[in-house]
A and B are shown apart, each in its own frame.
Chain A
Amino acid sequence: MSETSRRSVLAAGAAFAALPLSHARAQAANTIRIALLCDFSGTYRDVTGPNELACVRQAAAEFSNRGFNIEVVYADNQNRADVGSNITRTWIDRDGVDCIVDGGASSVALAVNEVVREKNKVFLNSSSATSDLTGRFCSPNLVHWTYDTYMLAKSTGGATVRAGGDSWYFITADYAFGHALERDTATFVRAAGGRVLGQARTPFPGTSDFSSFLVQAQASRAKVIGLANAGSDTINCIKQASEFGLARRGIKLASLLMFMPDVHSLGLEQTQGLICTETFYWDLNDRTRAFTRRVAGQLQSNVPLCMNHAGGYASVIHYLKAVADMGVARAKENGAEVVARMKAMPCDDDCFGPGSIRQDGRKLHPAYLFEVKAPSESHGRYDYYKLLQTTAGDEGFRPMAEGNCPLVRS
């Protein structure tokens, strides 16, 4: 390649390198810095990502006239724990960030949790699934807001049996997460009086053909097939189940980890009849509809709101209430004290309604079991769910004594 083009490559590179220098940081003691860390480029982009950023910004905007400034920054965790913990450290050490929102995938969130605890800041987790955050790894600097695997298992397992689905067969991703999900759900199915007829373990990662597992599940004559997997595994299972016409034969699919944007991208044709649990649905009541109208203009055009996005909004609202209550200076100094204040104050927001935060950092609110509507039942944009069952906040989540959180024992 000629010298000229080399030179142009270099020039372009230099110009690009100079870009980050152009924006200066404002330094103010009266500013609360909130940083959103989640997936902006990978699998979880739609269920967190830009929509969650819009929700966090909405929460900040609603507190814009309380006498202190709020800055929102964000970064992509690339679903990597080392990237996430490195960004978190940099944010806290160099950029004066006071509060980390979300964290993303469980492995990233657990890493962020340790950094935030070490630096005594605040960690408001929204989209991570692992119930270890309020169990073995619980921290005085953490609030785990939206959901966890225990709650999903209890709601989807227990409430589905109450709704008539009393015999189950599991298709389980063959690794720790899948096993835990299957084990927990099976426990709740049996506790509610249902039966577990069997399970198929699918190699993880890398299984793309689930047909033989679906045939086994069908042969078991179970009324409900529980999908103890996540992400592309779940999506492939649902697609192939739809091709087999399982819904027409009266077999329900129950996904243990499913969000509105997944339903949207798969389409109602393939997902109709699917059972899943969320703690927020935009069309649940007047308050959720009002919230959805407020943020509507800032959302990604083709991605509906789900509970993770709402969790980002609601946790930041509650955090800012605590900050306003105790003063910015003290809030910036001691993250654990802010979290203690958040636990002492009752929660109330448009997305999750009234609730509370337990000593181990678990936010309590109702869990809803939904069934995905058939295309003929859906009237209007994002009209996807019908409500089957509601599990009250204090029933849905794991009892504090079972979590072995060191904060509770002391």
Chain B
Amino acid sequence: MASETTAGPMPATMGEARGFLGYSRAQLVALVILVAALIVGPYFLYPVFLMKLLCFALFASAFNLLIGYVGLLSFGHAAYFGMGGYIAGYTAKAYGFTPEVAVIAGAAVAGIQGWIFGWIAIRRQGIYFAMITLALAQMVYFFCVQAPFTGGEDGIQAIPRGRLFGLIDLGPDMSMYWFVAAVFLAGFVMIHRVIHSPYGQVLKAIRENEPRATSLGYRTDDYKLVAFILSATIAGVAGGVKSLVFGIATLTDVHWAMSGEVVLMTLVGGLGTVFGPMVGAAVIVTMQNYLAEMGAWVTVIQGGIFVAVVLAFRRGLVGEIAHLLKVKL
């Protein structure tokens, strides 16, 4: 599937004119549209809904960094997302950390976790890799069920949003929204930078043909591990921000179903496209939100959309659009 979505690493950089910060013209247009949408969005849509969407979009983008660009299917990303949320929520509530410090703390713990888990998991490939990440994530889940600081079944409740840098009150939805939008944009641009850096090119080379990358003298395990840590850290940021937005951190976010959901988001949006995971997250989160009154049908519709995407839009929504317009998004 990977070789179908993008050309090899070399033509990607040489065939297109690279403008500002390594964005192609199409990507630049999409980025401008994205920033415009971020600015006008809260005046048309409900800000809390948009914040949730951005958190999941960042989470899916972090996941996509691994599967889309290194070809590693991690089936345990909820562990980093959820742990980031727990740590950020706990430090904000119990120690009175300001929101940015709480999120950094959550991201740091998620990153360390990613380091340890990645170090174990990257030794295997394909399904074995996925199973190892799933098993480790389940261990995290059981840890969170038992650990006193997570509040078990009830989760951490009433997490304060606090004051940014100790100054700006994030209590009102709009100020929280600007904080979330800034974090999202920073994470998003960072992922894009990583993908288009020389390091990112090596990652793509590993994805296409790992033995050849090894024979060219790259220590592929080191490259993969760094990508894994990056992905886990950004997932932790997304989780931390989410727990501050809603004021809760619960087992939902470390449950394996969350790991599955992020796979679904990425597939629906478009594997290995920069903008795909965001669109996929938007589709899934919007459905969960607006179809909630349809009860049991939500999951059925989700399944139906997944089947439709897999059968009719193999490249995902963004992938198909990019293919149609013959650009890279």
Taking beta carbons and an 8 Å cutoff, which residues of A are in contact with B?
1, 5-6, 9, 13, 20, 40-41, 45, 49, 73-78, 80-83, 85-87, 89-90, 93-94, 106-107, 110-111, 113-115, 130, 132, 137, 174-177, 204-205
Contact = CB atoms under 8 A, between A and B. Distances in A.
B152 A176 contact: yes
B292 A111 contact: no
Nearest to A79: B252
A237 B22 CA distance: 61
Contact of A75 (B248, B293, B311): B293
Given A5-B312, A20-B290, A110 B298 contact: no
Contacts of A110: 154-155, 157, 248
- Chain B interface secondary structure, helix, strand, loop or mixed? helix
B13 interface: no
B247 A114 contact: yes
A174 B152 CA distance: 11
Interface string B296-329: 1011000000001001110000000000000000
A35 to B, nearest CB: 10
B246 interface: yes
Specify the main secondary structure of chain A where it touches its partner: helix
Given A5-B312, A73-B293, A90-B49, A82 B154 contact: no
A125 to B, nearest CB: 14
Nearest to A136: B157
B46 A93 contact: yes
Contacts of B308: 9, 13
Contacts of A83: 288, 292
Given A81-B155, A86-B52, A90-B46, A76 B247 contact: no
Interface residues of B, number: 35
B153 A106 contact: yes
B14 to A, nearest CB: 32
Contacts of A86: 48-49, 52, 246, 289
Contact of B292 (A9, A78, A81): A78
Contacts of A9: 308, 312
Return the 6 tightest CB-CB contacts between A and B, nearest first.
Answer: A40-B295, A41-B296, A176-B152, A75-B292, A81-B250, A76-B295
Nearest to A49: B295
Contact of B146 (A5, A82, A113, A175): A175
A231 to B, nearest CB: 11
